[in-house]
Every structure is written in C-alpha cells, then in structure tokens.
Amino acid sequence: MCGIVGYTGHRQAYPIVVKGLKRLEYRGYDSAGIALVHDGLHVYKKQGKVSNLEEAVLGKNLDGHIGIGHTRWATHGEPSDRNAHPHTSQNGEFAIIHNGIIENYASIKAELTTKGYSFKSDTDTEVLVNFIQDIKINNACTLEEALRIALRRVVGAYCILLVAKDDPETIIAARKGSPLVIGIGKGEHFLASDASPIIEYTKEVVYVNDYEIAIVRPDELILKNLGNEKQTPFITKLDMEMAAIEKGGYDHFMLKEIFEQPQTIFDCLRGRLDAEQGHVVLSGIQKYATQISEAHRIIIIACGTSWHAGLLAEYIIEELCRIPVEVEYASEFRYRNPIVHKGDVIMAISQSGETADTLVAIEKAKEQGAIILGIVNVVGSSIARLSHTGVYTHAGPEIGVASTKAFTAQLAVIMMIALVIGKEKGTLSHDKYLQLIRELAEVPEKVKLILQQNDSIKALAEKYKDATDALYLGRGYNFPIALEGALKLKEISYIHAEGYPAAEMKHGPIALVTETLPVVFVATKDSYHEKVISNMQEIKARKGKIIAIITEGDLVSPTLADDVVILPPADEIIAPLLSTIPMQLLAYHIGVAKGYDVDKPRNLAKSVTVE
C-alpha cells in the first residue's frame, strides 16, 4: 500500500526522493517522510500529503547524496507525525521505511520492552527497526546481517529500506510480498515501489524477488537471499514513457485515464486481434489452450474492481466456452479450505499484479496443482512471475486510485481469452466468432463517441451531486457493470451506492426508493431489455429518479427515464466495455462537484499490498 523511494548516487537525493513520493502518492497519502544521510542522519516527516512535508522542511538541512522516503497508507497507528515513516532505531544509528505489515510485531515488542526499549509510535515498523538494532548489538554483526536475522523471525509482508548515519553511500533493502524495483543508472541507483519514480532517470531496472536482500551503492548492486547467497540481478528494460505518468493538461489523472481509453483499449487489442483476417492470437493462452479448454472449471480470484471484471468473465466464459466458472474474492478464498483439483484453472486478475490477498491465494492453488493464468497490467509484477501463463493488459500506468482504463483493458483481455478458448473448444460458432472480433475491434472508436458526451454527463453530475444514496441496476452482462458503477461513485464522491441485479430490487432495495433517490439503470439493448424496462416502470411508479444508460434507437427507455445517456449499438457481450464509460464520468464529475480530490479518495490506496 505505502510508497517507498530511495536514491544513492552523485546527485542531491532530496529532490529526487520528494518527486518520487509525489508520483507514488496514489499508494497512500496519510503522511510522508524522508531520511537523508549527510554529516549524520536527518529525518523529517509530516502528517498529510507530500506537499505538507515540503512545507515542513523549508529552511532545513536537505543536503545529502543518499536518501529514502515514504508516503503512508496507515495500518498500525492513526495518521500522525509520530506514526509517519521513517522510523529511527532507539540509538539513532539508522532509519527504516517499510511497506507491509509485521504480523507478529506485538510479541516482538513485548520482548523488546522487557529489555528496556521504549517506543514513540504505534507502528509495527518502529518495532522492527529496534528489533534489528537489538540483534546488531547482541550479535556484534553488520546491519546487513542483523536485518537478515530479523527477517527470519518476522511474520508478514514487507518491503524495507534501511540507511545508517555512518554509511553515506549504502541503502539496504529487502522484500517479501510487497514490490520493489531498482533502477540502474551511471554511478547511481534508484529504488521504488514501482517504476513511476524511476522512469525519468533510467529505463534499466531490476525487480527484486521475495526473500531477497539488496545492498545498493552508487556503483554497486548486490542481491542475496536470506541464506546470504549471492543472486544474479536480471535487468529489464522499461517500455513506459514519461508522458504516461504526467497529467497532460487534464485537471486530474482520473479524467486523463478515462479519456485515454480509446487508445488503451486499442493498445490492448493491437497485435492480438485482427478483424480483417478474423482471428485472435494470444501467445500466452495458446500455449495452454488445450489444458484450459479441457478444464473442468475455472476459478477467478480478484479484489475490488478486478472482481467485477471477473464476474463479467464468468458470464462470458460460460456462454462462449461452456466451462463452469466460479468467482471468488481473494481475501475469502485464501482463508477457506477451498477444493482445488489438479488441472483446475485459476484466473488471477489484478491491475498492479501485487495484490496481497490474490498473491497468497494463487500460491495456495499452485501448490495444489492448478494452472495459474494471470491478467495483470504491470510487467514484471509478482502475479505475472508466479503465473504459469497469462496476458498483460497494456493499459499503461494508472495513477488515479479509482481504476478506469485498467478495468476496460481487463474486460478486453477477458473477451479475447473467451474467443480463443471458445474457438479451441468448438463451443463458439465461426460466424459468432467473426462477429465478436469485428465488434471488439470497433470498441475504441465507439468509446470516442461516448466521451463526446462528457459535458452532458457533467451537467447530470451537477443535478445529482447532493444525493445521499444511489442504486445501480443491471441484468445479465450489465449486472457486473452496475456493481462497478456503484463502486466508482462510492470511491470518488463518498455517496452511499449499491449495485444489484435489477430483478433483485424487489427483494429489499425497492424499500429505499423515494422521489430523491437516483437509480442508474444499465439498460442497453440485449436479451434482458424488456425485463429491465419492467424494472424501470416499477421505479417510476414510486417516483424514483431514473438515469438510464441506453442503446441508440431505444424509444421506450427515454419515456420512463428522467435522464438518458445514449451509447452506440453493440452485441450484448461487447456492450459492457461501452456502458462502463459514462458511469466513470458520472462518478468523476460528482466527486469534483463536491470538491473532493478524486485522484486521492480518502482512506484508499491504489495497490493493496497488505491484508
């Protein structure tokens, strides 16, 4: 969840670290801090966003060619100056920043307390740094060795950076379950939770593996495992560009990413889907096509928005491939004793590829002989490396905390996978296969047409921004899209919103309907359309306010709805890629109209790398 940055080299560290923290604020913005080594160890930290930290350090000594920085999403201890990272050892010799959770911190803290240690914060991280100090003193060993010993005792997830006041060149880092990437420069190295703070300086990076320790100096990178055996760093070249992590003239990253979707969906399809030749090529899927098509079931595990993509995948795969599909919340799946058979396919969906619950879930399933198929956005991420096969979504960096372009890219990938497997299995007719390929290829242009309604959707947002509740209803393929629409509104505007299958409305939610309740119907033309019209009439009879997302040419829905958003026609399997766009815009504009920071919604972080 938290964002970490480190630098050691010939430049001044502070500007690099602070700029990196700003690029990682989507990972957490409860507090921020920095530690610099120059004539001693200098630690500055402040509750709130990175801008608060910048104000707090005005006039301070910020010299130093080595530094580490942290932007926090609070786990242990409320957001405050004292709970902000970095934390220093009690003897003041070194400082630590940490992304993750040390689950057995309480027992370690009790042990240290009996030895006379005291604690200034409520964090598990301060316990860890003093545990390392205690080991270093009692074993008369190096800081690197003390860290190695400590990590054999701790339980939980971590990405750790350590600096010592008597070593103005070295950063010691370690990871398990939380991401760490190291950028390789000339006489300098950069460390971060992801590549966004690094891309400005170098495109050569090393992704650190679980249970590895990195000793990083300006001219040296040493990787070791917890057994102190050296590992060979594998250098990867980034294909990300700086423009991808800048706002590009938009007011918010979220709006930029919504408007990027014609391009990101096209990029996702490019080189894979050929409408003229009438085929789809997914090399990662083709390699396992026989095993997937012969699987007795597919289990999809995901969290949040990715879970909604998985729910739509269930509808599509069962329809086109005739394979039973189960969709699981990763956080529940990992703690159950799920029945997983050898040959089952586990499809893991995650934007970051680092989602902690999903990672643990697929590790368990892999041990039981399942085939792991990853759908992720971030190249080199943990889920990508743990999977047997998979497909990258190629949506580019997504900075806004609420997922938009990553979601539609996931849907595009899922549709292509279903086409490949349906064709392989023979459950999809050739004519339907060709039709869906053609329609999928048309999606980027159709999304452009929908985005032209931005101003009218902004006007809708002004009309409904003062609502306290909202219902989102859909049927069939549009039910997961209703769930996603409700989630977006909750995330961005803090309006309580619920998504339901439209027919389930009569089983409870209809009791909420009043003349002030907005009810968003995803009512595009499909096999359920007449049923949805009946549901709209039920809301109309109770004076609810209806916002209908409809297909061009629908003459009935506008007679029932208070407001409509009109979409280009599309097959019902393809339509969810279109119907989600206006709901993203509606949530965005309501959040902005209410004066909220839509890129950094309260209490949320982009990448959930802790339980």
Active site residues: 2, 606
**In angstroms, rounded to a whole number, what is the distance separating the alpha carbons of residues 143 and 158?**
17
Q: What is the dihedral of CA 603, 604, 609, 611, to 10 degrees?
A: 50
Which letter does DSSP use for residue 355 in this model? -
What is the token pair recorded at 235?
A: 């250098």
Q: Give the list of residues 6+ apart from residue 90 with CB closer than 8 angstroms, or none.
A: 117, 118, 130, 133
Chain-centre distance for alpha carbon 602: 16
Q: Give the span between the Cα atoms of 611 and 357, in whole angstroms.
A: 6
Q: Which helix (H) or strand (E) holds 255?
A: helix 253-259
Question: Is residue 526 within 8 Å of 574, Cβ to Cβ?
Answer: no
- The 469-474 sheet, strands edge to edge: 496-501, 469-474, 518-523, 545-551, 563-567
Assign 558 to helix, strand or coil.
Answer: helix
The DSSP annotation for 363-392 comes to HHHHHTTPEEEEEESSTT-HHHHHSSEEEE
Return d(Cα 190, Cα 133) in angstroms, integer. Answer: 25
d(CA 473, CA 545): 13
Q: In degrees, to the nearest 5, what angle opens at C-alpha 317 toward C-alphas 332 and 576? A: 90
**In whole angstroms, what separates CA 312 from the centre of its chain?**
18
- C-beta separation of 565 from 582 below 8 A: yes
